[in-house]
Amino acid sequence: MADDRINLIVIFGGQSAEHDVSCVTATHVLRAVDQTRYRITPVGIDREGQWHLATAAVAALAKGAEALPDRLEAAGDNLSPTPMLTDALRNGPVVVMPLLHGPLGEDGTVQGLLELMDVPFVGSGVLGSAVSMDKAIAKEVLAHHQIPQARWISLREHEVNPVRLAEIAHTLGLPVFVKPSNMGSSVGVTKATTIDELIASVDHALGYDEWIVIEEAINGREIEVAVLGNLETRASVPGEIVPGNEFYDYEDKYIADGAQLIIPAALTADQTGTVRALALQVFAALRCEGLARVDFFFEENGRGFLINEVNTMPGFTPISMYPKMWQSTGLTYPALVDALIELAIDRHRRRRRNTKH
């Protein structure tokens, strides 16, 4: 009997500081995938960039999804990505789900490889991934579209000096947040309340990227919206994060679990409609496709909703907002995974019409 299942290649791990988050995300996605519809190949990228067939995950899946560990390991038999993808394409339809967070995964690099290999993949393409990942460029695009955001200044490493930082502190006021431009999950983000702290925060952020963003500190609520779709998009009910720490940092997101996640957020009907519409506008402006989580600050008695950032491959851990917001909107975790795979196939089919003559 022919096996007509789709070959689903799930890539996780990667070389960024968000490696561990990706390994946890992959476990929960694999647990949700219907193995009667998909033939799963878990592929881990270790911290040195070597690709592996995740043999422990393969063995666990053979016993059933419940046998999967809480965190996958990016280890196993070595793979070369191009021959691996070529072989997969010979054995029926293929979709790749790159569950990679941060640089060298969520930033258009892996997406470019998959485009060259002519393989459908979940999420945004090269442009949408790269623009959304780079906070400085994303802010410039969103400013062009007149989408409200906090005041900010971006700097490259060679532009940093005490005089320039003093000027920025005067322009934006203190406190400020300092962020690596290309990083997610609040990695490398710190709050500076003095000039000395600003200098230290900038030095810390430059350990992750040569471009940094310095933003005014917003005294507002943290509101998030999940977006799903390609040409036709839909927004989830908004959720609110009440940080357990001073701000919603990496520890709060993935380790301490101290934040309160409120879904749906306590907003009026008009406020809910406004933030959902803004999320769709941001998604379109940044050329996102498939999925994204759009994060806002909400100044209730000030400027209203201010775009913070966009994640084109948000976390899918048990405490992650993206799947939780869709569940609250009426889309179960397994149905969400199915929808993402269908969107990948749809996007690939549409893109091939424009690139093959």
Catalytic residues: 18, 185, 254, 293, 295, 309, 311, 315
**Cβ contact 304:298 at 8 Å:** yes
- Residues shown for the chain: 357
Phi, psi for 226 (deg, rounded to 5): -95, 135
Quick one: three-class SS letters along 165-210?
A: HHHHHHHHCCCEEEEECECCCCCCCEEECCHHHHHHHHHHHCCCCC
First to last CA, the chain: 36
**Cβ contact 221:297 at 8 Å:** yes
- Cα–Cα distance between 337 and 341 in angstroms, integer? 6
Q: Are strands 260-262 and 38-45 parallel, antiparallel or unpaired?
A: unpaired
Take residue 235 and report the two structure tokens written for it: 């927004």
| Bridge partners, residue 116, by sequence | none
